[in-house]
Structure 1
Amino acid sequence: MSNGLAIFLAICIAGFLAVDATLFGWDLSVALGRRFADLLGWLAFWR
């Protein structure tokens, strides 16, 4: 991964978190975190 791509991804993630905090009150991040935890549990089952 190049430095430019890493900086771009960091800016995108920071922008997503800023929008989520201001518009949705962190609800979107919490929902995505729960879905990701469910996905990890599902993947662990199939391992």
Structure 2
Amino acid sequence: MTDRVALYIALTLAVAIGLDLLLTQGQILMFLAKKFLHLVDWVQFWR
């Protein structure tokens, strides 16, 4: 991965998180965090 691609990905994530915080007070971020924790628990079960 080049520096330019990494910068574009970082900027895209920063803008997406900023918009989520402005428009939905972080509800989408919390939803995704909860789903990620459920996924980690599920993967840990099959380990």
Amino acid at match of 2:43: L
Structure 2 counterparts to residues 6-17 of structure 1, below 5 A = 6-17=6-17
TM-score, normalised by the number of residues in structure 2: 0.93
Q: Find the counterpart in structure 2 of residue 19 from structure 1.
A: 19
- What is the Cα-based RMSD across aligned positions, in Å? 0.6
Where does the alignment leave 5 or more consecutive residues of structure 2 unmatched? none
After TM superposition, which residue ranges in structure 1, 4 or more long, deviate above 3 angstroms? none
Cα distance in structure 1, aligned partners of 2:26 and 2:33:
11
Flag structure 1 segments of 5+ consecutive residues without an equivalent: none
The answer on 1:34 being equivalent to 2:34 is: yes
> What is the Cα deviation at residue 46 of structure 1?
1.0
